[in-house]
Amino acid sequence: MYFLSLDPKDINDIINLSDLNIIYKWFFDSLHFLQLNEQETHIVTTGVLLLAFSLCMVVLDYILKNIVIVIARKYAATSKTQLDDIIINNKVLHNITHLIPVTLARILFPIFFIGFPNVISFVLSLTNILFVVVVTLLLRSLIRSSRDYARTKPRLADKPIDSYSQVSSIILYFFSAIIIFSIITGKDPVTFLVSLGAASAILMLVFKDTIMGFVASIQVSTNDMVRVGDWIEMAKFGADGTVLEINLSTVKVQNFDKTITTIPTYLLISDSFKNYRGMQNSGGRRIKRSINIKMSSIRFLEPHEINELKKIQLLKPYIEERQKEIDEYNISTNADQSMPVNGRRMTNIGLFRAYVLRYAQQNQNIHKEYHLMVRHLQPTEHGLPIELYMFTNSTVWAFYETVMADIFDHVLAAIDYFHLEVFELPSSDDVRQFIANSNDLSKNPHQP
């Protein structure tokens, strides 16, 4: 519209007619058949030349892109390394081919439009901005390729590579934006950076989580607190599962129910969490579970009951050795055996603990190099807790649960042979039975 509003004498404000190149003059002469005046012919010639130049650059970009990509894909198909596949997938070659037409445009445009000083200044600014954008895309592709290639290295697989990649991308975008702003305004980038100091407080507020996440990522990596693939538990946020990803702002945890919990990265530094990596690396997983024994069922054993328990193969050597030790002690102390509390005697709870310990020791699924105990805990209103403390020889969850269930199945079934009872709160059936017995007793007070 600006061209159309000009008088013919004002065309020199846009075009230097004495400095036009041959290509422009050829286009200008070829458009005489349109029977336009000189100003209109210049406008149409300029538009056609711009369109033809842009179309040539687009076609060149398309041809180069397809040729390079086809050749690269054929090479990658025969190559054994993953690096070329990573480069292709992240469009590194794709962005390199964009550089060629953009660079040619920056070189050839002043030559083609030598008589258009104002147009050249404007279009070169656009071309420079496009060049910055293409270089930014290329560098971003290289950053992503480096990230993906690092993931293929076993020693880097558990590092927060995504965090470093995102930080590098943010820095890249920041400097690219400054350069583009400098091109548009014509100001020196250094001057813009100096003036940016006044807005630093606002930037700190806007990017607070990003900055905190970056610092936390460095601390997590340096202190080796969390790795990708670790099993962590953070009850406060409902996280209990495997770490899938550690990036600049969040840590993604896949829980065992297949849900995903996202935790801000900086909370790994400020809050506490449990990492099961040590357990997984040790090769053993702890069993720490108790059985509550009814207190009234604990007592001394009679000789015939001890003889009956000797039939348990795991206990027979222990009972014989223990009985010999007790007899020697009672004789040496001249203990009065008519009173059971005098001297030393075997108890059903003691033999039960000895049996469970030996049963666990001979279990091939229990780790023999770690602690193995069957111990008393503090008695409570729910009875005497007998705790089984041991480790399975595998950390696989299903295996661990199966082994633990098998042990407690056997122990709970065997406890009756020791004349012990497991404590449990009265059920509704127990209450109804008690009421029924009470009613029967009230009706028949002389019933035995």
DSSP string, 135-187: HHHHHHHHHHHHHHHHHTSGGGTTS-HHHHHHHHHHHHHHHHHHHHHHHHH--
Same domain as 302, residue 271: no
Work out whether strand 231-234 and strand 260-264 pair parallel, antiparallel, or are unpaired.
unpaired
Is the pLDDT score of 80 beyond 70?
Answer: yes
Residue 15 has pLDDT above 60, yes or no: no
Query: Model confidence over 252-288: pLDDT tens digits?
Result: 999 988 899 999 888 888 888 889 888 888 889 999 9
CATH of the domain at 261: 2.30.30.60
Q: Are residues 181 and 304 part of one domain?
A: no
Query: Which of 281, 316, 351 delimits the end of a domain?
Result: 281
In eight-state DSSP terms, residue 366 is B
Residues 139-176 pLDDT 10s: 988 888 888 888 888 777 667 777 778 788 888 888 88
pLDDT of residue 431: 72
pLDDT at 23: 57
Token pair in block for residue 108: 């050839």
What pLDDT is stored for residue 314 in this prediction?
92
Question: Strand, helix or coil at 95?
Answer: helix
Q: Are residues 388 and 413 in the same domain?
A: yes
Q: Are residues 173 and 25 in the same domain?
A: yes
* Number of Cβ within a 10 Å radius of residue 18: 7
Spatial contact of 91 and 133, defined as CB atoms under 8 Å apart = no
113 band by pLDDT with thresholds 50, 70 and 90: low
Q: Are 270 and 383 within one domain?
A: no
- 274 and 294, same domain (yes or no): no
**Whole-number pLDDT of residue 279:** 86
* Residue 168 located in a structural domain: yes
Same-domain pairing of 230 and 294: no
- CA separation (Å) from 265 to 162, 228, 234, 271? 12, 13, 12, 10
Residue 2 reports pLDDT greater than 60:
no
- In this structure, is residue 438 part of a structural domain? no
Q: Tell me, yes or no, whether 242 lies in a domain.
A: yes
Residue 408 backbone phi and psi in degrees, to 5: -75, -30
For residue 155, tell me if it sits in a domain: yes
DSSP 211-246: HHHHHHHHHHHHTT---TT-EEEEGGGTEEEEEEEE
pLDDT of residue 43: 63
Q: Any idea of the CA torsion for 223, 227, 230, 233, to the nearest 10 degrees?
A: 60
Planar angle of CA 292, 438, 430, nearest 5 degrees: 30
Number of domains in the chain: 3
The rounded distance, in Å, linking the Cα atoms of 24 and 12 is 15
- Tell the burial category of 100 from Cβ atoms under 10 Å away from its Cβ (0-12, 13-18, 19+): middle
Nearest residue to 374 (alpha-carbon basis) of 396, 359, 395? 359
What would you report as the CA-atom Rg of the chain, rounded to the nearest whole angstrom? 42
Asked whether residue 202 carries a pLDDT value surpassing 90, the answer given is no
Predicted TM-score (pTM) above 0.75: no
Q: Report if residue 3 sits inside a domain.
A: no
270 and 305 part of one domain: no
Q: How many CA atoms lie within 13 A of 178 on its CB side?
A: 14
Which residue's structure tokens are 């100096």? 194
Q: Do 155 and 248 belong together in one domain?
A: no
Angle at 8 between CA 6 and CA 9, to 5 degrees: 100
User: Bigger pLDDT: 186 or 419?
Assistant: 419
Q: Do 148 and 47 fall within a single domain?
A: yes
pLDDT at 318 (0 to 100): 93
Tens digit of each residue's pLDDT (9 = 90 or more) over 334-380: 888 888 888 899 999 999 999 999 999 999 999 988 999 999 999 99
**pLDDT tens digits, 426-435:** 766 667 777 7
Check: CB of residue 422 under 8 Å from CB of residue 412: yes
Residue that finishes a domain, picked among 260, 281, 302: 281
Residue 428, domain member (yes or no): no
268 and 342 inside one domain: no
Nearest to 232 by CA among 191, 265, 199: 265
Verify that 294 and 274 share a domain, yes or no. no
Give the pLDDT confidence score for residue 16 in this predicted structure.
47
Question: How many other C-beta atoms can be found within 10 angstroms of the C-beta atom of residue 355?
Answer: 22
Residues spanned by the domain of 251: 222-281
Burial class (CB in 10 A: 0-12, 13-18, 19+), 171: exposed
Instruction: Check pLDDT > 60 for residue 14.
Output: no
Closest C-alpha to 28, from 396, 177, 20, 448: 20
Residue 170 inside a domain? The answer is yes
Average pLDDT over the chain, rounded to an integer: 80
- Percentage of the residues of the chain whose pLDDT score is greater than 90: 29
In sequence order, the β-bridge partners of residue 286 are 391
Q: Is residue 423 part of a domain?
A: no
CB 299 within 8 A of CB 419: yes
